[in-house]
Structure 1
Amino acid sequence: MLDSTLKTQLKAYLEKVTQPIELVATLDNSDVSRDMRALLDDIVSLSNQITLTISTDATLRAPSFSINRLHKEQGEVGIRFAGIPMGHEFTSLVLALLQTGGHPPKVDTAVIEQIVQLDGDYQFETYISLTCQNCPEVVQSLNLMAVLNPRIRSVVIDGALFQEEVEQRQVMAVPTIFLNGKVFDQGRLSIEEILAKLDSGLEKRTAEKLDASASYDVLVVGGGPAGAAAAIYSARKGIRTGVVGERFGGQVLDTMSIENFISVTETEGPKFAAALEQHVKTYDVDIINLQRAEKLIPASAANPLTEIKLASGATLKAKTVIIATGARWREINVPGEREYRNHGVAYCPHCDGPLFKGKRVAVIGGGNSGVEAAIDLAGLVSHVTLLEFGAELRADEVLQRKLRSLTNVTVHTSAQTTEVKGDGKKVNGIDFKDLTSGELKHVELEGVFVQIGLVPNTEWLKGTLELSRHGEIIVDARGQTSLPGVFAAGDVTTVPFKQIVIAVGEGAKAALSAFDHLIRS
């Protein structure tokens, strides 16, 4: 199952296993079961600490396998993979083996303590796709929780393999997490976010702690590439620096492939985001995660500090502020879009595409992202309908040529999407207007992928500092906004060309400008 290179790499990892592990497989007569057995045999052959047992329990999903400690007195471990964890989930498999086998996890001791102290029985079932770059963080978080707390169970289910189950439970996006049989959440979640949802008193305790914290010389709002660069450059000046944001990495976490960050030939968004965070953590920077900024209160003669009010109720204060809140997927804002989000309406074709295998979908948007999405989906689904508002596609010609070569793609230009249709539970069609003829048209389908660009995250700043007509923060060549001591960087600003490498440079520049402001004032 594994090639020689992968076996060599895995063998090196498995040398870190110090406690005996038992793999228990539930198999059937399918080809997938044969491949799973081959994978498990490979794993067993690479470590004398790992054994394999075949289960005949007909109540369990097949094919699937569990990972547990051989010596049960060390505590139960409730991890099960229903499907073959390759692709993006191979790392999840390796970590599950290492952590079950006694290798210490790389998480804060406070997080470990929180997991251990969780009271109650938690049965998590997570539906994933092997091409989803957002799924591994959820899988790895829940698996770690299962390793640390014997009352927690984590089952990882390949949605493409268990299609009937996906249909029955109305899973239309990945990752989708069920807790004790009910939908718990959808989309990317960090271990801290999962714990926050389980621990109802955490937000209040965190807000109280933040309120009591000292003021910062530089407070960066946003943890994407621009925010990370700003934090690093600020910390290197030896000044008190903090980063506050909803999730470290920002929109990079939703990026499939990065091939144009200079000196890095190719990487994936989540890996890049993790590297950003690790780099920031090498400096004396307060990282304040899971906090959304709701209001900026400018400094004044009475109060020389700028204040950032958070949704949790806490307030952070700083001598200078760098806003790097980035952007998010733009919505089409038609009836049915929000009602059927994660129930047929999706924004990440790489993540959710496999759930629509053999079905009919639409892609809205004729730029590079829209055409790339249509090309990717055409290899999975039965038919793709691409809708572009303009009179012609805006994607690069090389992409358009590829698109035109596909027989299961229909392109409609001058097409205004008017409504996403559904049966109350999931999408079953889309309506659009032909802007040339004025005719209203309907297409029956099961999924809609929206790919029409980005909108800056600046709603919380309206009326506080100067924004462009597109809602972007207006900045000068130094990253200075219309408020003294408040700077901005990255996709949230008027700086053209929304690229990671540009955001990083702008973040560094904003930090240097903020430091210059501090020493001059």
Structure 2
Amino acid sequence: MLDANLKNQLKTYLANVSKDVELVASVDDSKASGEMLALLNDIVSLTDKVTVKEVRDDAERKPSFSINRPNENLSVRFAGLPMGHEFTSLVLALLHVGGHPPKEEQAVLEQISRLEGEFEFETYISLSCQNCPTVVQALNLMAALNPNVKHTMIDGALFQDEVESRQIMAVPTVYLNGKEFGAGRMTLEQILGKVDTKANEREAQQLNEKEPYDLLIVGGGPAGASAAIYAARKGIRTGIVADRFGGQVLDTMAIENFISVQETEGPKLVAQLEQHVKQYEVDVMTNQRAVGLASGDLREVTLENGATLKSKAIMVATGARWREMNVPGENEYRGRGVAYCPHCDGPLFKGKRVAVIGGGNSGVEAAIDLAGIVAHVTLIEFDNQLRADAVLQKKLHSLSNVTVIVSAMTTEVKGDGKKVNGLVYQDRISDESHEVELEGVFVQIGLVPNTGWIKGSVELSSRGEVLVDEKGQTSMTGVFAAGDVTTVPYKQIIISMGEGAKASLAAFDYLIRSSVEDDKDEEASAA
């Protein structure tokens, strides 16, 4: 099942297993069960700490297997074959159940161990989803550390009947005790925040007690990370507060225009960014959402949990989010046929008909990727021609199961009350309306800046972007901005990093000049 290179790597990791681990496989005579058993036997051949037991029981899902310690009551289960992006989830589960200490902070581990109650999680994933492993690994860790927590990863492509019956049309989708708990990427801290009802109060109190920063960066994407590194290297007290570290890059699969790196993936780049930031004394606070900005002797950022962080200077780097169509049916069928990540959710539409809205690079790339999975793709573009690079258009037009419609405006997403079953568009030349029967709609029409929280505090453009000068200074003294949230053109990772570095240097210059002015004022008062 595993090639020689992968076996050698896995053997190295398994050397860290210190406790006996038992793999219990629920199988039948299917090909998938045979492949799963081959994988488990490969694992067992690499270490004497792991054993496998095959059972033909009445388990709900076959093939599936649990990872446990003999005579203990842990419950980490994989329903399906955890390969692709989920192979790392399997390795980490083996290590954590096998006694290897997790890398998370001790306070987080203690919070997991203190959880009381019964928590039975089920996570539906696709093996091509880059966001799913974050959720799977978080819940697996919780199950490995606390017997009150149980978790099963479920490959949606393998268990299609379940996916259909639960109307799951986006991954990852998590159920807790039989009820939908959440969808989309969630960090361990975010999950704990939802199940530990007292966590927010404790966290808000801790944040309120923090000393003021020299530079507080709001946002953890490329611009924020770059700004933090440049600030910390200047020796000033630096903090990052963000909903999640990495921002929109976490949802980006293929990156081929990051200079000096021929090809990488968003989550990989984010991990490298985070590692770089952590080499410096930067206070990183994630799972926090800013809701307000005020100016005084110190600038203040108010958070959703009620806490307030203070700083001499602020950097706004909150990036952007997927732009919505704002048509009837879009919100109603979000996650039930309306999707924004073709890499994540595409496998759930295998053999079905879908539409992609948008003819730029993102839309055409999505259509190309989906064409290899679904029965048919209809690409709809508002303009009278596609706007994607010529090489992408050439590839798109070579595909036999893709229809391209230009000069078309999507006016409605239709459904049966449970899921999408069609889309309506208006021909912008003839004004005629047309309906397309399909099961999925992938929206790829650009980004919207995340500036709602500072509206009224700093000056914004007509598009809602933060207006900045050539140094990244906003209309509020001591508040700077960088990246996709600003009016700087061309929303690219490399540009955001450069703008973050530039604005950070400008903020440092502002802090130096401010301190000199303060000294002069003190001298004048003394005289």
> Shorter-chain TM-score category?
over 0.9
**1:199 alignment partner in structure 2:** 196
Report whether the alignment pairs 1:39 with 2:32: no
Matched, 1:132 2:129: yes
Q: Match of 2:111, SS?
A: helix
Matched, 1:444 2:437: yes
Quick one: distance in 2 between partners of 1:446 and 1:498?
31
Paired positions, count: 514
Q: Secondary structure at the match of 1:395?
A: coil
Contact 1:26 1:60 in 2 (8 A): no
How far residue 298 of structure 1 moved from its aligned partner, in angstroms, is 2.1
CA–CA separation in structure 1 for the residues paired with 2:429 and 2:490: 31
The answer to whether the aligner puts 1:52 opposite 2:79 as a matched pair is no
- Alignment partner of 1:169 is 2:169: no
Query: Secondary structure of the equivalent of 1:406?
Result: coil
Separation of aligned partners in 2, 1:52 and 1:497: 53
Pairing of 1:203-218 with structure 2 (within 5 A): 203-218=200-215
Residues 440-519 of structure 1 mapped to structure 2, 5 A cutoff:
440-519=433-512
Could you tell me how far apart the structure 2 residues matched to 1:11 and 1:335 are?
Answer: 53
Q: Secondary structure at the match of 2:324?
A: coil
Residues 321-352 of structure 1: per-residue CA shift (max 9 Å, x gap)? 01000001000000111111111100000000
CA contact (8 A) 1:386 1:410 kept: yes
Alpha-carbon distance between aligned partners in 1 of 2:18 and 2:209, rounded to the nearest angstrom: 42
Give the C-alpha shift of residue 8 in structure 1: 1.0
Q: Whole-Å Cα distance in 2 between the matches of residues 90 and 426 of structure 1?
A: 31
Q: Deviations over 1:233-260 (max 9, x none)?
A: 1112111111111111111111112222
CA distance in structure 2 between the aligned counterparts of 1:394 and 1:505, rounded to whole angstroms: 26
The residue type equivalent to 2:159 in the other structure is F
Aligned partner letter, 1:258: I
Give yes or no for the alignment of 1:190 onto 2:183: no
What is the identity, as a one-letter code, of the residue corresponding to 1:253?
Answer: L
Counterpart mapping for 1:134-173 below 5 A: 134-173=131-170
Secondary structure of 2:142's counterpart equals helix
1:280 paired to 2:277:
yes
CA shift for structure 1 position 385: 0.9
Q: For each residue in 1:276-330, what CA deviation from the matched residue of structure 2 results, as whole angstroms up to 9, or x when unmatched?
A: 222222222211111111111123xxxx111111121111111100100000100
Does 1:435 find its partner at 2:428? yes
Task: Work out the CA distance in 2 between the residues paired with 1:403 and 1:264.
Answer: 26
Work out whether residues 26 and 59 of structure 2, in 8 Å CA contact, stay in contact via their aligned partners in 1.
Answer: no
Q: How does 1:355-366 map to 2 (within 5 A)?
A: 355-366=348-359
Equivalent residue number for residue 399 of structure 1: 392
Give the counterpart of 1:343 among 328, 336, 340: 336
Shift of 1:171: 0.6
Q: Which moved more, 1:171-180 or 1:390-399?
A: 390-399
Residue 21 (structure 2) aligns with: 21
SS of residue in 1 equivalent to 2:441: strand
1:56 and 1:462 map into 2 onto residues whose CA distance is 60
Q: Secondary structure at the match of 2:491?
A: coil
Instruction: Work out the CA distance in 2 between the residues paired with 1:265 and 1:13.
Output: 28
- Contact 2:239 / 2:285 at 8 angstroms: preserved in 1? yes
CA distance in 2, matches of 1:274, 1:512: 24
- TM, length-normalised to structure 2: 0.96
What residue is the counterpart of 2:62 in the other structure?
62
The CA distance in 2 between the partners of 1:60 and 1:367, in whole Å, is 44
* Contact 1:321-1:486 at 8 Å conserved across structures: yes
Supply the distance in 1 between the matched residues of 2:249 and 2:384 (Cα, whole angstroms).
31
Identify the range of structure 1 (155-164 vs 34-43) with the bigger mean alpha-carbon deviation. Answer: 34-43
Q: CA deviation at 1:478?
A: 1.2
Unpaired runs of at least 5, structure 2: 515-527
Find the aligned partners of 2:301 and 2:22 in 1 and give their Cα distance: 50
Name the TM-score, length of structure 1 as normaliser.
Answer: 0.97
Task: Name the CA distance, whole Å, in 1 between partners of 2:393 and 2:256.
Answer: 20
Q: CA deviation at 1:10?
A: 0.8
Provide the secondary structure at the position in 2 that maps to 1:492.
coil
1:220 aligned counterpart, secondary structure: strand
Shift of 1:263: 3.3
1:267 alignment counterpart: 264
- Report the 3-state secondary structure (helix = DSSP H, G, I; strand = E; otherwise coil) of the residue aligned with 1:491: coil
Distance in 2 (CA, whole Å) between partners of 1:348 and 1:387 is 17
5+ long unaligned stretches in structure 1: none
> Aligned to 2:229, which of 220, 223, 232?
232
**Higher mean displacement: 249-258 or 271-280:** 271-280
Residue 422 of structure 1 aligns with an amino acid whose one-letter code is G
- Number of the residue aligned with 1:381: 374
Distance apart, 1:111 and its partner CA: 0.5
Q: Does the 8 Å contact 2:121/2:175 carry over to 1?
A: yes
Secondary structure of the residue aligned to 2:484 is: helix
Please report how far the alpha carbon of residue 63 of structure 1 lies from its aligned counterpart in structure 2 after TM superposition.
0.8
Counterparts of 2:382 and 2:232 in 1: how far apart (Å)? Answer: 46
Q: C-alpha displacement at 1:471, in angstroms? A: 1.3
The equivalent residue for 1:95 is 92
CA distance in 2, matches of 1:449, 1:135: 18
C-alpha deviation, 1:61, in angstroms? 0.9
The letter for the 2-side match of 1:199 is D
Partner amino acid for 1:126? Answer: T
Question: Cα deviation per residue 1:28-60 (whole Å; 9 max; x = unaligned)?
Answer: 112111111111111111111111100121233
For residue 43 of structure 2, give the secondary structure of its aligned residue in structure 1: helix
The yes-or-no answer on 1:220 pairing with 2:217 is yes
Q: Is the 8 A contact 2:28 2:56 kept in 1?
A: no
Whole-Å Cα distance in 1 between the matches of residues 36 and 408 of structure 2?
46
For the residues of structure 2 that align with 1:426 and 1:513, how far apart are their CA atoms? 50
Is 1:67–1:97's contact at 8 Å kept on the other side of the alignment? yes
CA contact (8 A) 2:291 2:301 kept: yes
Q: Distance in 1 between matches of 2:303 and 2:408?
A: 41
Partner of 1:30: 30
Q: Distance in 1 between matches of 2:183 and 2:244?
A: 15
Q: What is the CA–CA distance in structure 2 between the aligned matches of 1:27 and 1:134, rounded to whole Å?
A: 28
Paired residues of 1:258 and 1:268 also in contact (CA < 8 A): yes
User: Does structure 2 retain, via aligned residues, the 8 Å contact 1:343–1:426?
Assistant: yes
| C-alpha RMSD of the superposition | 1.1
Deviations 1:466-510, CA, capped at 9 Å, x for gaps? 222221111122111122211111111111221111111111111
2 CA distance for matches of 1:104 and 1:252?
Answer: 29
Output the CA distance in 2 between the equivalents of 1:78 and 1:279: 35
- Please tell me whether residue 334 in structure 1 is matched to residue 327 in structure 2: yes
| Shift, 1:265, TM fit | 3.2
C-alpha distance in structure 2 between counterparts of 1:336 and 1:399, whole Å: 30
Aligned-pair distance for 1:158?
A: 0.3
Read off the aligned partner of 1:427 and give its amino acid letter. V
- Secondary structure of the residue aligned to 1:481 is coil
- Give the whole-Å Cα distance in 2 for the aligned partners of 1:266 and 1:30: 37
Deviation of 1:201 after TM superposition, in Å, equals: 1.6
